[in-house]
Amino acid sequence: MTMLDDVLSHIDANLPASLDRLFHLLRIESISTDPAYREQVRAAADWLSGELDGIGFAASVRPTTGHPMVVAHDPDDAGGPHVLFYGHYDVQPVDPLDEWDSPPFEPRIETVDGHEQIVARGASDDKGQLMTFVEACRAWKAVTGSLPIRVSVLFEGEEESGSPSLKPFLEANAEDLRADLALVCDTDMWDRQRPAITVMLRGLVGEEITITAADRDLHSGLYGGAARNPIHVLADIIARLRDADGRVTVPGFYDGVDDLPADVKALWDSLGFDSDAFLGDVGLSLPAGETGRSVLEQIWARPTCEVNGITGGYTGEGFKTVIPAKASAKISFRLVGGQDPDQIRRNFRDFVEGHLPADCSVTFAEHGGAQALRLPFTGDALSRARAALTDEWGMEPALVGSGGSIPVVGELKQALGIDSLMIGFALDDDRIHSPNEKYDVSSFRGGIRSWARVLAALAT
């Protein structure tokens, strides 16, 4: 048997103890968005710091302007790459409480369709995920006395409340946290049998526009037909944002957008993704993105323009014949490739102003922005991780994109200059942020074993 085999055997033999430790963390009500739980959030940070100390890390709880960070470094330098593992220990609120089948902070295991599931708030997002890495490190230390590579850890306590302290903390502690590669465990498997590595994240530009016409709301009987209606203006601008083929019409929008490499497209085509079921699950049937692109391309590898909300005029009960003075819309762009968020924002504002009629004015409010991120498909770390996951799960991991954004990945790149290897073991039915959140025991065990293999693979 190899040293890795001994580590994997230790993981399996000690799985009940690993579950006990996870359950202890799950019982801590670390809801970051509610000030009433501030002490519980701190308790979770203290507990994690103690656990890392207990397996030989030099760990500390670091203050921020909000909830604390947990930072830990393994004092032994085994050579090879230095990795920084990121996870978050805060959780979402539990409302609506009456939709939980059991108390959300009293973790339990239930069996559904033959699969054991850990049910609790935070079981999947992100306590179960981060504990897979902690337990992998624990096993390596128990069996060999050391880790195969140099490891640092960063646990955040504000991810579920927008990470307001993350960027300044990373910038202030860049020298202490800098590593060769970040490991992020806040993503999903392809399905229960097949692991995945997320290699693409779409970026984001959020804008709110408010169009003003008259200096007050007007009676539509007295002024209708003569007065400019800002809702009409807003609707016309929104309608112009996409053409009949689903392409965004903002000038320069596709600058920096490349077609998907042929081998990656072939890999995605081989995944057996059921686009009819994907849309059918939400009561839809026809893809509405760019013509000629698959659904996976549309949600992972192509940029978008979406209208997230519109307000204007009277929206209460009953009816009021009014021409409003103002109309507003919230509009978001998902970005890919080398699209520049700042340039997209400028071009969008120019587009709106260019279609504004006389007697109207517009104001803009910025709601965040982040560049898209993509790992090199042939990178060394990615190749080693693919091989490690293939050994564990018996099939090659899917290389997937994410239609959403994981802000920490961009922050790590900007502040520390490091790429992130995104490997997670959640399933798409884990009900994160919802009542009865769960994490499969197979995900927990497989995640621990997978990280043990990845650490070994990165060392060779």
Q: Average the pLDDT over 387-399 and give the result.
A: 96
Give the mean pLDDT of 248-259: 96
Domain boundaries, the chain: 3-201+372-459, 203-257+303-370
CA distances from 98 to 94, 101, 435 (A): 10, 8, 9
pLDDT score, position 430:
96
Summarised one tens digit per residue, pLDDT across range 130-158 is 999 999 999 999 999 999 999 999 999 99
- For residue 263, the model assigns a pLDDT of 83
Please, which pLDDT band fits residue 384 given cuts at 50, 70 and 90? very high
Query: Distance between CA atoms of 316 and 311, rounded to whole angstroms?
Result: 12
| CATH code, residues 203-257+303-370 | 3.30.70.360
Q: What is the mean pLDDT of the chain?
A: 95
**With 0-12 CB in 10 A as exposed, 13-18 as middle and 19+ as buried, what is 285?**
exposed
pLDDT-derived band at 55 (thresholds 50, 70, 90) equals very high
Residue 293 has pLDDT above 90, yes or no: yes
| Residue-wise pLDDT tens digits, 315-350 | 999 999 999 999 999 999 999 989 999 999 999 999
- Report the phi/psi class of residue 256: left, alpha or beta, with left for phi > 0 and alpha for psi in -120 to 50: left
Written as six digits, the tokens of 454 are 């990845």
3-class state of residue 80 by DSSP: coil
Can you give the pLDDT at residue 371? Answer: 86
For residue 63, pLDDT over 80 is answered with yes
**Would the CATH topology of 3-201+372-459 be identical to that of 203-257+303-370?**
no
Q: At residue 378, does pLDDT exceed 80?
A: no
Residue 310 confidence class, pLDDT cut points 50, 70, 90? very high
The candidate with the shortest Cα–Cα distance to 448, out of 105, 80, 11, 35, is: 11
CA 459 to chain centre: 27
Average pLDDT over residues 35-58: 98
Q: What is the pLDDT of residue 77?
A: 83
Does residue 262 surpass a pLDDT of 90? no
Name the pairing type of β-strands 203-212 and 115-119. Answer: unpaired
The mean pLDDT of 78-93, rounded to a whole number, is 94
Q: Which helix (H) or strand (E) holds 33?
A: none
How many of the other CB atoms lie within 10 Å of CB of 56?
17
Element (H, E) at 450: helix 441-459
Among 83-87, 341-345, 359-363, 399-403, the least confident range: 399-403
Q: What percent of the chain has pLDDT over 70?
A: 100
Burial class (CB in 10 A: 0-12, 13-18, 19+), 235: middle
Q: Is the pLDDT of residue 404 over 80?
A: no
pLDDT score recorded for residue 13 = 98
pLDDT in tens, 11-27: 999 999 999 999 999 99
**In percent, how much of the chain has pLDDT > 90?**
88
pLDDT at 418: 93
Among 403, 444, 12, residue whose Cα is nearest residue 203: 403
Mean pLDDT of 90-106: 97
Q: Write down the pLDDT at residue 155.
A: 98
- Kindly report, residue by residue over 191-229, the tens digit of the pLDDT: 999 999 999 899 999 999 999 999 999 999 999 999 999
**Is the backbone of residue 210 left (phi > 0), alpha (psi -120 to 50) or beta?**
beta
What pLDDT is attached to residue 195? 97
pLDDT tens-digit series, residues 117-128: 999 999 999 999
Residue 406, pLDDT score: 81
pLDDT band, residue 403 (cuts 50/70/90)? confident
Closest of 125, 108, 127, 128 to residue 117, by C-alpha: 108
Residues in the chain, overall count: 460
Long-range contacts, stretch 344-348, CB < 8 angstroms, 24+ apart? 344/205, 344/250, 344/252, 344/253, 345/205, 345/207, 345/369, 347/250, 347/251, 347/252, 347/253, 348/205, 348/207, 348/250
Quote the pTM value.
Answer: 0.85
Provide the CA 213 distance to its chain's centre, in angstroms.
Answer: 39
Superfamily of domain 3-201+372-459: Zn peptidases (3.40.630.10)
- Given a cut of 90, whether residue 162 has pLDDT beyond it is no
